[in-house]
Every structure is written in C-alpha cells, then in structure tokens.
Amino acid sequence: MNKNFRNLLGCLAAHTLILTGRVKQATKKALETECILSLYFHKPAKDEFEFCIRWLRRKGFRFISPRDLEKIINGEIPFPKGAVLLTVDDGWQSNVTNVADVATRNEVPVTIFVSTTPAEEGTYWWSYVTQAKRQGLTSFSKQALKKMPEEERVNILKEIKQMIYPGRDAMTVDQVKMVARSPYITIGSHTQTHPILINCPETQVYEELKGSRQKLESWTGKEVAYFAYPNGDFSRREIKILKTLHYRLAFSSQPKYLTPALLNESYTIPRFGFLEGASSAENICRITGVWQPMMQKLSHRNQPPKKERTWYSNLFLGEDRIKKLDI
C-alpha cells in the first residue's frame, strides 16, 4: 500500500477517534490519575519532536527522567499525575539535532538508547538489507531476518555487506559523547549489534548487554543503568541477565499506561510508540495511548487468514510524512 495513502487513512481514523472524545478522555485520565505516559521514538524530524513536546506542555503534562522513575519506584517521591517519560531507540545520527538539541533547548529530559556497533561502524544492519533489497541484490526483507535464528541472520548479513554499504546513519562515538554532556540527555543501552535477543544463544545475549554497557560508560564517563529491548522482544532469560549485570530499568514496547500496579515490573516498562511520518492527529492518538489498543482490538476482532491478519497493523505502520495538523 502506498504510504501516503496509508497516512491519509490513518489521519482520517485518528480524527474519528478525536471526535468521539477518546483522546480527550485519555488525556484527562493521564493528567488526573496516577498514570505515566511512557513514550518512544526512533528518528523523528525536528518539527515532529518539537510538536510532541509543545502539545504535551500545552495540555499540562510535565516531563520526568528514568532517574525520577527510579525515585518513584523506591518510594522517594510520590507517584505523579500528568507525567511523561520520553525515550528514543537506536541512536540515529539525526537524533543529535532533532532530539538532543531540541530537548536541551526546551529543558526536557530524554533518554537515548544507543546500539554501540552502528556508532562504531556507521550503520544499522537493516539499512544494509533495505538498500540491498531496493537494488535487487537480495530477496530477504528486514522482517524476514528478524524472525530467523541468529546464526542464519548473521550469515546472510555477511553476504549482503560484501555487496553494499548504505552510508552512515548512526551517531558517531564522538556524537554520543557530545550529546551525553547535556544535563537533559541520558544514554541507555540498546545492545551492541541490535540483534533480536530471543533468537540469540545465551552467551551472545550476555555479551551484547555487557559489552554495550561497558562501551557506553567508557565513552560518556557516566553510569549506564537503563536498557531498551531491540524490537521490543524479550523473555525471562533477558530479564535475568539484565539483573545479573545490574541494570536497574528495562523498557519494552508494550503499549500500556505506566501505573502504580506496574512499578514492580521494572524490567518490562511499557511504552507507547510515536510513528515518524504519520499525521499529527494520529500521533496524538498514539502518545495518549488511544491508538494502539484500538488497532489491536480491530485486528483481533476480524481474525482473517494469517497472511492478511495484520491488515490493520500494516495499514497503520507506514513512515511517509503528510501534512501535520496542530490539534
């Protein structure tokens, strides 16, 4: 499906949700009850990230850091109302100007979860796959490789990397050091090579989590105690290893509100995802927690054959940008 068409449909669906009062109700809930909006981005444009901060502030939300969240968990400060926690996954090079600079200028705490090998080598493994597929050099897709056993995925990537280099799209090591100096930026771990951890042998998982933390701490001179699961995939094994390595918080991509009942689950902190390129209306629905549960309900309700089962999710996962609506 054409992504611009997908975004148009997404915008229409979002306005329907807004008109029904769902966003207003969700916003009221987040502002007036013990309910934190935990959000994640990847590589937002500057106007997208600024819009998000501006909209949340206008509605009366205040921003907290993972350290604040730890204090809440430990009972050092009360559970807040109207709180938002912002996180960014991967460590894209555009995060320097579009996220770190914007966050610092607006005095908003943001955590950037960095994969260390792309910072060292230049790019993410899926960038190779995407460009190779676009040029007809491979039949494998990013999604297909995510489902493979780790050894098979690595072997395919080795072949692809011999044919193409997409160019740098990750922050450099020096840029990671630079953004870490901001009092508003926290650097967290996102593994070394960004594998799908549940597909990896245990020894690799341990080294991915240990090695990335050691490198980030050596680069920044600061403790790295927070982690985000690549692709949001984890099991009890990953949680156990994180505890062994003394990480204190880990973030999933489960679309739930962070409530007092979930505070004990500090290694599966839920987050609502912002979709770069979608309309402002859709992303308002996303960051207020309205969008993802509705799409899940629609998907489960229909249950078509497996090939078509993700009609709704596929429809609303595009990344092309359409005109923003300042709602």
Residue 275 lies in a domain: yes
Model pTM greater than 0.85?
A: yes
**Contact present, 88 and 97 (Cβ < 8 Å):** no
CA nearest neighbour of 322 among 294, 291, 281, 292 = 281
Range of the domain at 266: 3-114+183-189+221-315
Domain count of the fold of the chain: 1
pLDDT recorded at residue 309: 38
Residue 204 lies in a domain: no
Residue 147 lies in a domain: no
Question: How do beta strands 249-251 and 37-41 pair?
Answer: unpaired
DSSP 71: H
**Which tens digit of pLDDT belongs to each residue from 46-55?**
999 999 999 9
Residue 277 lies in a domain: yes
Question: Cβ contacts of residue 115 below 8 Å, gap of 6+?
Answer: 90, 91, 124, 170, 190, 191, 192, 193, 194, 212, 230
Tens-level pLDDT at each residue, the chain (327 residues): 566 888 899 999 999 999 999 999 999 999 999 999 999 999 999 999 999 999 999 999 999 999 999 999 999 999 999 999 999 999 999 999 999 999 999 999 999 999 999 999 999 999 999 999 999 999 999 999 999 999 999 999 999 999 999 999 999 999 999 999 999 999 999 999 999 999 999 999 999 999 999 999 999 999 999 999 999 999 999 999 999 999 999 999 999 999 999 998 999 999 999 999 999 999 999 999 999 877 877 766 555 444 433 334 444 443 333 233 333
**Contact present, 56 and 287 (Cβ < 8 Å):** yes
CA distance 99 to 111: 10
CA atoms lying within 13 Å on the CB side of residue 320: 13
Residue 155 lies in a domain: no
Residue 286 lies in a domain: yes
Radius of gyration of the chain (CA): 19
Residue 134 lies in a domain: no
CA nearest neighbour of 316 among 304, 299, 300 = 299
Around Cβ 239, how many Cβ atoms within 10 Å? 17
**Which tens digit of pLDDT belongs to each residue from 230-280?**
999 999 999 999 999 999 999 999 999 999 999 989 999 999 999 999 999
CA nearest neighbour of 51 among 280, 314, 294 = 280
Helices vs strands, H then E, count in the chain: 16, 8
Around Cβ 3, how many Cβ atoms within 10 Å? 16
Domain of 283, CATH number, reads 3.20.20.370
Residue matched to tokens 């491979």: 138
Question: Cβ contacts of residue 134 below 8 Å, gap of 6+?
Answer: none
CA nearest neighbour of 45 among 99, 114, 111, 119 = 99
